[in-house]
Copies of this chain bind each other. A is one copy, B any other.
Amino acid sequence: MPARFDNTMTSKIINRRDLEFLLYEFIGVGGLIGRDRYAEHSKETFDAAIEAAHRLAEEHFAPHNRKGDDHEPTFDGSTVHIIPEVRAALEAFAASGFIAAAHDYELGGMQLPFTVLQACFAMFQGANVATSSYPLLSMAHANVLRSFGTPEQQHLFLKPMLEGRYFGTMALTEPQAGSSLSDLRSTATLASDGSYRLKGNKIFISAGEHSLSENIVHLVLARIQGAPAGVKGISLFIVPKYRVNPDGSLGEHNDVTLGGLIHKMGWRGTTSTMLNFGEQGNCAGYLVGEPHHGLRYMFHMMNEARVGVGMSAVMLAYGAYLQSLDYARTRVQGRLPSAKNPTQVPVALIEHADVRRMLLAQKACVEGGLALCLHCARLVDETQTAPDPRDREEAHLMLEVLTPIAKSWPSHWSQESISQAIQIYGGYGFTRDYPVEQSYRDNRLNPLHEGTHGIQALDLLGRKVGMQDGAALQLLMREMHRTIRDGCRCASPELAANAGALADAVTLLLETTRNLLCAADRGERDLALANASVYLEMTGHIVIAWIWLRQALVALEKLPQAQGESRDFYQGKLQACAYFFRWELPRTKHQNQLLNDMDRTCFEMEDRWY
């Protein structure tokens, strides 16, 4: 076993053997190495980055995860106070070079593939999701500036962000509008110097105010005076907390004020703020790109951002899984139903069938979710560096249809998974002396932010599966059928049967999709989309079944040569696949029935009947 796996058994962040499997045996990240952009990379540089991230996460992020929850940020009327460990962790993070890691060498980056960066970043999300939010937002912000900022904007704002001196935010939501970006009211008025003056209120702005960095730069959605109504009249602005002089020195305060901190159930270590822009009429904003195209710029990075949410959900549940597994192995309690003699010694919790069930369900959830998110990250790399432009386009389409699933499936099922971890701990799991209750509170945000579960459902059924005459869905089907063919031909009768079950599920999915899209086209759009959440959940389960079958086929192939722990690892993959096909995939039959019937029970429920 190579030395870098020494922490496999002790780390409570991730099973590094699983990550190795997913990166190199499952999604084949090694295939990126030959590409021009990654010419200086190799498996060794990828692994070194992952190892550095893992160590940094364990040393600087994990230790204050509970403390950050116990001591959430406070505001004394002038300053936001955050426990000092956060600053120390972020300084170490910046020093490690991860902020700019995916960027060009000339920008101080490492030209690391997005997939590898995502795997690195997962360590921080697993160690301390709240503290990891600060760099996550800055990195997403930096990507927008990199793609759409002018050279001057990049010089003034992107450069210090990649150096870790400025932090970034995304300021979309307004109190009255919630998820409905169409109803944003913040305004921008052209000033004589060519910049704009912003005015408006934003809510739920993570990392919106703190003293962790020299400056905070907000990406703000607002309407230029006279813009069209709805989402087609929204522009994107760079709005710093302190203005920045042409030489890069800080100027005056830019009239961005803290309306208050928001106190949350979990994810407490990240400041969540209400921000007031331009109360004194003196808030300068700098237009990004063209007027009225702001949503496009913001959503350009949305796939990555949403896959990142899915990844955070996976990692919260992954940690809870490993913690409860460790507890189940070491805690001795009770006897088997067949051996109730009280003078016999009790057994470890893991000996109880119900505990094994909860552990296997967790394993299927977190390893399946991680595989999906890494698969999507690989697609991001394909969109950027695939040699053939048609492959880039295909990867983009696949990513479009998979993103709502990669965001919502882990967000939803991780909550179940963490709940099972709590259940394994028994009463102790409910106490704040053990880590799983915090993971449960932290993850509950994931089905809400970056587009709620219901918004993802409408995105999938209302937009993605019908886009370009169903091209994205067709592509996904093609990939699934490739796996199904491999499964039917393989040496395992069980996996061949699973391939058949997946084929059946895919057939139903296609038929149901066609029926729903036809109904929407013939004027029953509200009814056709009424059960979109069920559609999202069904499609999610089918996609994860596909992901598990692919993992199992790799394991089946490797098993004959594998020895010892490696053999056990592949056996575990096969058993988790068996679990998913026997216990989970069958749920989709009834979901499909409801959808294909266009069930009206909820749609026709009247307000006054509640």
Contacts and interface: CB of A to CB of B under 8 A. Distances in A.
Scoring A180, A586, A605 by chain B CB atoms within 10 A of each residue's CB, the highest score goes to: A605
A458 interface: yes
Interface in A233-276: 262-266
Contact of A462 (B337, B359, B429): B337
Given A173-B427, A263-B431, A337-B462, A183 B346 contact: yes
Contact of A265 (B230, B440, B587, B594): B440
Chain A, interface residues (CB within 8 Å), range? 35 or more
Contacts of A529: 337, 353
A341 B434 CA distance: 50
A482 interface: no
A489 B512 CA distance: 35
A179 B606 CA distance: 45
Residue among A173, A335, A338 with the most chain B CB within 10 A?
A338
Contacts of A180: 333-335, 346
Contacts of A606: 568, 571
A162 interface: no
A342 B231 contact: yes
Interface string A524-565: 011101111100000000000000000000000000000001
Contact of A360 (B204, B586, B602): B602
A352 B454 CA distance: 10
A590 B599 contact: no
Contacts of A81: none
A365 to B, nearest CB: 13
B448 A336 contact: no
A603 interface: yes
Contacts of A231: 342
A582 interface: yes
A601 interface: yes
Contacts of A338: 525-526
A520 to B, nearest CB: 8
A520 B527 CA distance: 48
A430 B582 CA distance: 34
Contacts of A4: none
Contacts of A578: 601
A71 interface: no
A529 B334 CA distance: 15
Contacts of A589: 590
Contact of A526 (B266, B336, B342, B593): B336
Contacts of A357: 530-531, 533, 602
Which of A441, A454, A458, A579 is packed against the most chain B CB atoms within 10 Å? Answer: A454
Interface stretch (A23-31, A286-294, A415-423): A415-423
Contacts of A78: none
Interface string A561-595: 00001001101100100110011001101100110
Contact of A342 (B182, B354, B520): B182
A601 B363 CA distance: 13
Nearest to A350: B607
Interface string A346-375: 100010111111011001000000000000
A432 interface: yes
B602 A353 contact: yes
7 contacts: A180-B335, A264-B432, A329-B607, A354-B532, A354-B533, A440-B444, A571-B609
Given A338-B526, A568-B606, A568-B609, 9 more contacts: A180-B334, A180-B346, A183-B346, A337-B458, A350-B607, A353-B530, A357-B530, A575-B605, A582-B594
Nearest 5 CB-CB pairings of A with B = A230-B342, A353-B530, A572-B609, A357-B602, A265-B437
